[in-house]
Amino acid sequence: MSVCKKNVVLICLCLIVFLLMGCELKQDTTQKKITGAQGYSITDFTGTRLTFREKPKRIVSLSLGVDEILLDMLPADRIIAVTYLADNPAISSVSVKAKAIGKRTRGNSPEAIMALKPDLVIMPDWAGMNTAKTLRDMGLNIYIYKTPTSLKEIEKSIIDIACLVDEKAKGEKIVEKMQDKLKATWKIVGKLPAKNKRTIVALSQMGAFGAKGTTFDDLCQHANVINGVALMGINKNESLSKEQIVAINPDVLLLPSWEATGKVEISTYTDEIKNDPAYMNINAVRNKRLIHVHDNYLYSISQYAANAVDELARGVYPELYN
């Protein structure tokens, strides 16, 4: 998969593709206690070391994935602002918890962020290094993370952020819960013989997605599903034609559960796929295997990605769950 391109459409689909892996990195992100004083320091993805005399208590998040991690990890009084996307239950798994946070971020305006008076800003690597430099020049603690493209990297992101906010034990519990869900799914689908594995193609309003090396591709592997787009050798920035989808002949089509622009009914989009002459003879349409996974899980680059694996497995192999 990958979670983040989201202007709402762009940012949402950015989440399909995109932190890292535990408190220990090849570059040193391990939390280090400050010698002879209370406090700790930690290094971000860019190699910048941040130092804290105490736990940050005015945290600002600039991405939905971090919103979801923080809101499951910390009390609301330590978070000053989350993104406006956190309020939308169609793409956010923490919309209820987000109500306890008073401020919202939109974009990465240095002035708007500075006005929040944060003691820590957590920024994704796609938000712009110039903004990060400007904010650091203003004296703010800016932590930049690499957007994850696999479940392992998501787990690492959670632990890294837990170390950053000095709550490693809570981060480990979130990861443990995530891993338990993945293990439960694999217990059901993991023993499927190769001949019984089904091929899926995921469609959005902007076309097919899920190239090899994306978050969606990793979700498929954990659900023991063959990702048709990766099978075709499609690169991340390439589009897939109808002819290529027909050539894949997927057993299952994954359709969106949320339409980003609000201009098209999802049911209408589903009917268009069913009635498209180009698709009428592919296995998925003939056998009526058109499924949905909640988009707040599907595009997640937080612990909620494990829910996407569960829903994906249930949708592709419903007979295993009866």
Structural tokens at position 222:
């954990």
Q: Say yes or no to pLDDT of 294 above 90.
A: yes
Predicted confidence (pLDDT) per residue in 248-268, tens digit:
999 999 998 875 555 556 778
Q: Which residues contact 265 (CB under 8 A, 6 or more apart)?
A: 259
pLDDT of 30 higher than 80: no
Instruction: For 170-248, list the strands marked E by DSSP.
Output: 199-204, 207-209, 226-227
pTM, to two decimals: 0.86
21 bridge partner residues: 156
- 3-class SS of residue 154: helix
**Rounded mean pLDDT, 82-101:** 97
For helices 168-189 and 215-222, the axis angle rounded to 10 degrees is 60
Q: Using the predicted structure, report yes or no on whether residue 217 has a pLDDT greater than 90.
A: yes
Is the distance from CB of 51 to CB of 39 less than 8 angstroms? yes
Q: Determine the length of the chain.
A: 322
* Two tokens, residue 203: 């469609």
Our measurement of the distance from residue 217's CA atom to the centroid of its chain's CA atoms, rounded to an integer in Å, reads: 13
pLDDT, one tens digit per residue, over 177-197 is 999 999 999 999 999 999 999
80 in Cβ contact with 69 (< 8 Å): no
pLDDT of residue 11: 43
Q: Residue 49 in 3-state DSSP?
A: strand
- Could you tell me where in the chain the CATH 3.40.50.1980 domains are found? 9-178, 181-321
Cα R_g (the chain), whole angstroms: 20
SS3 of residue 93 by DSSP: coil
pLDDT tens profile 221-235: 999 999 999 998 887
The CA angle 9-13-15, to the nearest 5 degrees, is: 130
Choose among 112, 124, 103: nearest CA to 58: 103
Q: If one looks up domain 9-178 in CATH, what number appears? A: 3.40.50.1980
Supply the CATH classification number for the domain 181-321: 3.40.50.1980
